[in-house]
């Protein structure tokens, strides 16, 4: 067994460059998903496929991201953060090229799964690096700052995707993603340094580590809250291209403006969260976040059901709903990872796998319930948000007294793992 070298620097000297790189890596998932959304109707047409089958390319992507993260977690705990990340990015680039050459819809479904397996490494590793260096409210603030970078992807990706679609066709979108993956790989090779702490003590079995995580309500409750919240968001992502473009007649190249506006709301609340964690304990803030999340999701369902105010009523309801993810995401992740620094890779992998398993299920549900209206999207959004609320409010009572006392918002400064030998 190998371990990261104790002589390897744990982090770049400044945190700004590190946060920028980590945010860019975390943005791989929304970039890979959102950039081709405007092309979904065109892909269905050119590959002579149904809309429901093309929507399965989203579900297969989410499934790949979920499984890939489960594979990645133990790898980055064992081999360090950098080498598995490099291998994952190589697989991502190859999968992107494969998607560009897909001969039919079923092949595209499979190749999206391969692409996502590689991209999953870019989701797990940044969270593990953050937990290597920060904890508590400072970790929540760092994750909020990462969302500032992540939020650029949903704003620009559909616009860029619509532009590429209009001028070069949908296959060129995946060639662009392959190029982005190549640039990220070069950046990781040149700039990212190892942050994984050395392994000490007797090796623990995977079963014992999983048992510790799954037996900890402080992990399970917030992880479920974040997972179901992401499921609600990806139900919106899966359904919105057809709702906006096919039902409301929005041009494919203009869809990105609606999609990007929601991302601006998400980023804005994520940055507000950086301020709130200084004054509100993390557990209390998470309960507030999931409450806002379920209320706005109920608004989406009402608009989808009644058609209130048409296109603009739907756009407004979705803006409020997506914005609440800026509060749910950073706080649920920070609480879930707080007590598991020794195996942050596995904890991060389970957290992400849960999110994308729920997202894949939600995307499949939107596809399966498709009836030519916006109601399937609204119903799945509201149902997943209700489950997020239950998990966020009732799923982690173990430290309720501590949270009320404000101990959950303690700030820990950036730190380096203690050096030693495995």
Q: What is the pLDDT of residues 38-76, one digit of tens each?
A: 888 889 899 988 877 887 888 888 788 888 888 888 888
In a domain, 417, yes or no: no
In a domain, 231, yes or no: yes
Distance CA(33)–CA(57), nearest Å, equals 10
In a domain, 173, yes or no: yes
* Contacting residues for 298 by C-beta, under 8 A, at least 6 apart: 382, 385
Question: What pLDDT score does 419 carry?
Answer: 36
Question: What pLDDT score does 295 carry?
Answer: 96
Distance CA(233)–CA(223), nearest Å, equals 15
**8 A C-beta contact, residue 95 and residue 65:** no
Q: 287: domain range? A: 15-198+216-407
Tell me the β-bridge partners of 135: 412
In a domain, 80, yes or no: yes
Per-residue pLDDT tens digits of the chain, which is 422 residues long: 444 444 333 444 457 777 788 888 888 877 888 888 888 888 989 998 887 788 788 888 878 888 888 888 888 888 888 889 999 999 999 999 999 999 999 999 999 999 999 998 888 888 788 777 776 677 777 777 776 666 677 667 877 888 899 889 999 999 999 999 999 899 888 887 777 776 655 455 666 777 777 777 788 888 899 889 989 988 998 888 888 888 888 887 778 788 778 878 888 888 888 888 888 888 889 999 999 999 999 999 999 999 888 899 999 999 999 999 889 988 888 888 777 766 667 877 788 778 777 877 888 888 888 888 889 999 999 999 999 999 988 865 545 444 444 444 444 444 444 333 33
In a domain, 205, yes or no: no
Count Cα atoms within 13 angstroms, Cβ side, for 302: 12
In a domain, 298, yes or no: yes
The total number of structural domains that make up the chain: 1
The three-point CA angle 403-409-414 to 5° equals 145
In a domain, 204, yes or no: no
Convert 29-41 to b/e letters by CB count within 10 Å (16 or more is b): bbbbbbbbbbbbb
* Contacting residues for 212 by C-beta, under 8 A, at least 6 apart: 340
Rg (CA), the chain: 20
| CATH (domain of 344) | 1.20.1250.20
Q: Left, alpha or beta for 350 (phi > 0: left; psi -120 to 50: alpha)?
A: alpha
Distance CA(262)–CA(35), nearest Å, equals 15
Whole-structure pTM over 0.85, yes or no? no
Question: What pLDDT score does 132 carry?
Answer: 75
In a domain, 269, yes or no: yes
Distance CA(403)–CA(422), nearest Å, equals 35
Distance CA(12)–CA(405), nearest Å, equals 35
Q: Left, alpha or beta for 372 (phi > 0: left; psi -120 to 50: alpha)?
A: left
Question: What pLDDT score does 89 carry?
Answer: 93
């Amino acid at each position: 067994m190998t371990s990261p070298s104790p002589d390897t620097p744990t982090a770049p000297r400044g945190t700004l460059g590190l946060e920028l790189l980590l945010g860019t890596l975390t943005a791989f998932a929304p970039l890979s998903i959102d950039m081709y959304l405007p092309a979904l109707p065109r892909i269905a047409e050119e590959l002579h496929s149904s809309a429901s089958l093309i929507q399965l390319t989203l579900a297969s992507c989410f499934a790949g991201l979920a499984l890939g993260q489960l594979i990645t977690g133990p790898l980055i705990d064992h081999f360090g953060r950098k080498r598995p990340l490099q291998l994952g990015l190589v697989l991502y680039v190859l999968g992107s090229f494969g998607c560009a050459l897909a001969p039919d819809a079923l092949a595209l479904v499979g190749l999206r799964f391969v692409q996502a397996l590689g991209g999953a490494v870019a989701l797990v590793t940044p969270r593990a690096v953050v937990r290597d260096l920060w904890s508590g409210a400072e970790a929540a603030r760092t994750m909020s700052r990462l969302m500032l970078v992540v939020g650029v992807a949903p704003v620009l990706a559909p616009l860029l995707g619509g532009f590429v679609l209009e001028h070069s066709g949908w296959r060129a979108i995946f060639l662009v993603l392959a190029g982005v993956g190549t640039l990220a790989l070069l950046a990781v090779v040149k700039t990212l340094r190892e942050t994984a702490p050395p392994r000490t003590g007797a090796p623990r079995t995977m079963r014992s580590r999983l048992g510790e995580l799954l037996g900890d309500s402080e992990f399970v409750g917030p992880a479920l809250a974040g997972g179901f919240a992401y499921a609600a968001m990806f139900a919106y992502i899966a359904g919105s291209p057809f709702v906006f473009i096919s039902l409301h007649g929005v041009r494919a190249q203009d869809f990105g403006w609606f999609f990007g506006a929601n991302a601006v709301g998400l980023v804005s609340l994520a940055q507000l969260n950086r301020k709130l964690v200084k004054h509100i304990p993390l557990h209390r803030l998470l309960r507030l976040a999931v409450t806002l999340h379920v209320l706005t999701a109920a608004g989406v369902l009402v608009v989808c059901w009644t058609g209130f105010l048409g296109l603009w009523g739907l756009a407004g309801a979705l803006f409020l709903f997506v914005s609440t993810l800026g509060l749910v995401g950073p706080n649920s992740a920070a609480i879930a990872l707080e007590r598991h620094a020794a195996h942050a890779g596995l904890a991060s992998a389970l957290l992400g796998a849960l999110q994308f398993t729920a997202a894949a299920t939600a995307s499949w549900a939107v596809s399966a319930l498709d009836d030519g209206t916006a109601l399937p999207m609204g119903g799945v959004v509201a149902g997943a948000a209700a489950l997020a609320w239950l998990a966020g409010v009732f799923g982690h009572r173990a430290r309720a007294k501590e949270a009320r006392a404000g101990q959950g918002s303690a700030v820990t400064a950036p730190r380096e793992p203690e050096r030693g030998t495995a």
